[in-house]
Every structure is written in structure tokens, then in C-alpha cells.
Amino acid sequence: MAQGGGRNVTIHVVQRGENLFRIAMRYGVTVEAIAQANGITDPRRIYVGQRLIIPGADTSSPGVPVTHVVQPGETLFTIAQLYGTTPGRLAELNHIVNPDSLYVGQVLTVYEENPSGTASIQRGTVHVVQPGETLFRIAMRYGVTVEAIAQANGITNPTLIYAGQQLVIPGGDETPELTADLPWPALSFTVHPLPASQGRAVGLRLQTAVPVELSGTFMDRQIVFFGGDGVYYAVFGVHAMAEPGLYPMMITMNTGSESVTITQSVQVADGGYGYEEIDIPPDRAGLLDPELVRSEAEMVASLMAGYTPTRYFDGPMGLPTAGSVTSMFGTRRSYNGGPYSSFHGGVDFGGGVGAPIYAPAAGVVVFSGQLTVRGNATIIDHGWGVYTGYWHQSETYVQAGQFVSAGQLIGAIGASGLVTGAHLHWELRVGGIQVDPLQWTRESFP
């Protein structure tokens, strides 16, 4: 926050996760007033780092309670800097006894401080001083002045800094949007959505100061990264039957001369799935044979487990058909009165035989043919470990090796394979893990 030129105008720099409604509440003004003052025609479209004029801001407001979801590398210190409060205040509000117990995905109550007559804490990134560094070198790295860093941190003698010291870096062209305490060469590290949940996909974005080779693990599975030139992406799935709780995520950065590992505890939440009983007609009950089910599942898993370096998907996916959803992903299932030992690995859409099926995103067909349990099936590789499958079709209109565009007709709804009636089973796997396809129609990854 900054006062502009002696006038009663406040400049607010948009932070991650903010919207105009939240900003208007903080300053005691209306969304319409901010939009008019800044020439904003669509109040939904603001961006991190945008400078907004806040006309007639009530700077005597004691603050606004909001929630903050912890990201990798964040500490009570860095979160406090982000919201202009103190670590002690955060700990008190959230009943935190051990500040080192924060985990990725933890939801904190934050009270944005805006006390009257006091200077706002400068917002920016936090740099941990490395052995041999000087304020001049740090200022050069972030594109700011030595004086700006000294003023933001109350340093009277710029020569007296020490290894491990946390410095607030105000502004600067290379300042990452995320305030975090990360080891060099990491600049920012974001995970979304948080908390991670059973049966959902998770996207990562890691920015580094120099090019690195990346490797990582989460829940005993490899994380595969794509991108380069200091900006790297990954997307992976959390198994629908995973136990909720905290799991370590380890990301190793190799610069060629050294190897540095980031270790974070990440929360996995319950997916909230229900239960359903499926009665298979006697003429198809043989398709439940465990050996038949296992062998076909292994074949399908092998087709949907690779990592193509080309990314074909872009933005949210479309729906594959116009029918209504008849069975959600993740539902725990019992067949013919048996135990609830499995889950529904996709989303079912109702529809008459012959209803069209469309590709929800661009990709390359890797399988098109008849399977015993899944009936007439199509599998599309969308790149970066993302695959979609379409089971129980009456007809398939594409061939293996064919490139398909988003919205292209690929098949027709049918009742082939293990079914109780005509429908489309739409499946999506990320890194070999089945996840909820409908999540991909609402969110962009990575």
C-alpha cells in the first residue's frame, strides 16, 4: 500500500488469490468505485502485480479476516510479510505452537493488518542470504537498489548481513509472485489445487534462477517435469483410494555443479466419495472374472502410462458428450452384492446408442478397438502423461496414430462390454493414475 502524492488515494498492488470484492472489503469501498477509478470493464479480470487506485480508502480499518492456503516454501515469517502482519499474530490466530509444523495445503486464518498512521510492511519476495553474498550482489540479482533492500529491512549498515538472514526484497523485475523461503536456485514454487485430494490431479510450477535438471517423488511415485529455461511444470494424480494425511514431496534441482532438494509435507484430503451397488445381468456376469478383469486392466494401464513431451491439451477440457452424468468418478462400488473393494475409475454419461462422442482436447489416438470388459474403446494421448479413455462405444471413428482436434467426432455411445445399459464411460489418467475427468473441465493444468 502506498499513498499517492499527498492526495487521499491509496495504491494497492494485487496479491495472489485476491479479487476486487476482497480488496474493496479491505479498504471500505465498493467494487464499482475501484473498477471506475481504474477503467476496469470486467471486475473478474485483475492480475497479480496490478496496481490499483483505491479512491477514498478507509485507512483506519483494522483489517479483514481472510484465509490463506500454505504453498511450498512458505513460513509464518513469509506469510506475515505477504499480509502485512506478524508471525506471532498468525500463530495466535491459528493456535500454532510449533512454527515449523506448517504443511502445504494448510488453511490459515489471516488478519490483514492496516493500522492507521503506521507504515505498511513492504511486500515482495524473501531472500535467504547465502555464504559470501553481499547486499550489492543480492540487489543486482533482483533488479533493485541496495538502499531499497536496506530500508525494507531496517538495515543501517549494508555491510553487516549474515548467512541465513531473511531479507525482504521489495519490487524488482525478477521478483517471483510467490513469497516463499526456498533454497537456491529456486525462485518460486506453486502447487494447485490445494489441498490435494483423493482422485484429483495436482499441478506444479517451479521457477529457478538458472536452468536445472529436475526430479521428484510424491506418494512413492515419480514426478516428471517439462519445460525449461528456468520455468518447469509437472502434473500428477493422487490415487482415489489413498489414505488422507500428510505426505512428503521431494523435488531435487541439479545445476550441474550441485544438487539441492526441496522437501515439503503436503496434505491429501478425503475426496468425499459415495457408494453404489451395481447389479450385472446374468448374461454378462462372466465379465467379472478376476483374471479377465486383471489382464485387461494391465493392458489398458500400459497404454495410458507413458509421457509424451509434446503438450496437446490447452486450458480446460470440453465434455465428450451432451448426455447427463449418471455415475460420478470415485464412487466406491459393489458388484452383485459383493464387497466395496473397488471404485468407479471414470465418469458415466447417459445417452442412446449412436449418440456422438467428441474429443475433449487435442491429442494422438493410441488405441481404437474392441476390448472384452470395456467394449469398443478409444484411448487418446494428450501429452505430458495425460490420457483419456472412452469405453462401451457402439462405433469408433478414429484409428491408432491419428491426431484429433478438440471437439472432433471420435465415436458413438453404445452398450458393449460390461454394462447394464447404453452409456459412455469417460476416463482420465495422469501419470498412470485415474483421476476425476470433470476436474479437467473446470481447471487448467499444470
- Which CATH number is 397's domain given? 2.70.70.10
- Asked, for residue 177, whether it belongs to a domain, the answer is no
Among residues 219, 161, 56, which one has the least CA distance to residue 149?
Answer: 161
- Asked, for residue 175, whether it belongs to a domain, the answer is no
Same-domain pairing of 142 and 157: yes
pLDDT, residue 295, reads 94
What CATH number has the domain bearing residue 234? Answer: 2.60.40.10
- Asked, for residue 367, whether it belongs to a domain, the answer is yes
Same-domain pairing of 199 and 160: no
Same-domain pairing of 412 and 294: yes
Same-domain pairing of 259 and 289: no
Among residues 335, 322, 225, 320, which one has the least CA distance to residue 277?
Answer: 335
- Asked, for residue 102, whether it belongs to a domain, the answer is yes
| Domain closes at, from 206, 240, 269 | 269
C-alpha separations of 444 from 139, 201, 316, 438 in Å: 35, 10, 5, 12
| Domain closes at, from 248, 269, 290 | 269
The overall pTM is greater than 0.85: no
pLDDT, residue 393, reads 98
C-alpha cell belonging to residue 71: 504453498
What strands lie across the sheet with 51-55, from one edge to the other?
2-3, 9-13, 51-55
pLDDT, residue 125, reads 64
C-alpha separations of 416 from 358, 369, 375, 400 in Å: 18, 12, 4, 20
C-alpha cell belonging to residue 18: 485476491
- Asked, for residue 118, whether it belongs to a domain, the answer is no
Same-domain pairing of 298 and 361: yes
Same-domain pairing of 403 and 287: yes
pLDDT, residue 78, reads 81
Contact in structure between 394 and 376 (CB atoms under 8 Å): yes
* Number of neighbours of residue 67 by Cβ within 10 angstroms: 9
| Domain closes at, from 231, 253, 269 | 269
Same-domain pairing of 51 and 165: no
Contact in structure between 428 and 440 (CB atoms under 8 Å): yes
pLDDT, residue 114, reads 46
Q: Could you state, in chain order, the average pLDDT of each consecutive group of 10 residues for the chain (446 residues)?
A: 42 73 79 84 75 70 68 86 81 89 90 43 60 77 78 76 75 47 87 93 93 96 94 96 96 94 95 86 76 92 96 94 94 82 92 96 98 96 98 98 98 93 96 97 88
Domain containing 166: what range? 124-170
- Asked, for residue 348, whether it belongs to a domain, the answer is yes
Same-domain pairing of 280 and 424: yes
pLDDT, residue 396, reads 98
C-alpha cell belonging to residue 214: 529436475
C-alpha cell belonging to residue 260: 539441492
Same-domain pairing of 235 and 290: no
State how many domains the chain has.
Answer: 4
What CATH number has the domain bearing residue 38? Answer: 3.10.350.10
- Asked, for residue 76, whether it belongs to a domain, the answer is yes
| Residues near 92 by beta carbon (within 8 Å), at least 6 away in sequence | none
Same-domain pairing of 368 and 307: yes
Same-domain pairing of 241 and 331: no
Cα–Cα distance between 38 and 45 in angstroms, integer?
A: 12
Contact in structure between 335 and 285 (CB atoms under 8 Å): no
Same-domain pairing of 301 and 412: yes
- Asked, for residue 117, whether it belongs to a domain, the answer is no
